[in-house]
């Protein structure tokens, strides 16, 4: 199940202490390691390295986050928290 994760994709951890936590992918250059952040424990300037086997995709890519990166806006941890909060509130409604 090694799918290619994209920058800006919202993912969920399936293994480890953080099992069930949601993250935002900020870098996928390595073969099987991704840099992910949640804005709370893992800030944007100190990402967590996660094995791609230990996360699953939610199928959601944050267009807002991608627009911030493309416009060279400084992305803050509050911005990451906002993106994840919006996603989780949409999931609760479903």
Residue 94 in contact with residue 73, Cβ under 8 Å? no
The domain tally of the chain equals: 1
Residue 61 in contact with residue 19, Cβ under 8 Å? no
Mean per-residue pLDDT, 71-77: 88
Question: Is residue 3, in this structure, part of any structural domain at all?
Answer: no
CATH number at residue 69: 2.30.30
The contacts of residue 36 (CB under 8 Å, 6+ apart) are 11, 23, 24, 25, 26, 42, 47, 48, 49, 50, 55
Digit-coded pLDDT (tens) for 23-55: 999 998 888 899 999 999 999 899 999 999 999
pLDDT number for residue 7? 93
Mean per-residue pLDDT, 8-12: 95
> Which of 77, 83, 85 is closest to 48 using CA atoms?
77
**Six-digit token pair at 52?**
């791609």
Q: What is the mean pLDDT of the chain?
A: 90
Question: Is residue 31, in this structure, part of any structural domain at all?
Answer: yes
């Amino acid at each position: 199940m090694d799918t290619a994760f994209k920058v800006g994709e919202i993912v969920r951890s399936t293994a480890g202490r953080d099992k069930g936590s949601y993250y935002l992918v900020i870098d996928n250059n390595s073969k099987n390691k991704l840099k992910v952040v949640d804005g709370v424990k893992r800030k944007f300037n100190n990402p967590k390295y996660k094995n791609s086997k230990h996360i699953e995709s939610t199928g959601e890519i944050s267009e807002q986050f991608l627009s911030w990166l493309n416009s060279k806006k400084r992305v803050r941890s509050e911005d990451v928290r906002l993106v994840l909060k919006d996603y989780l509130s949409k999931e609760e409604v479903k």
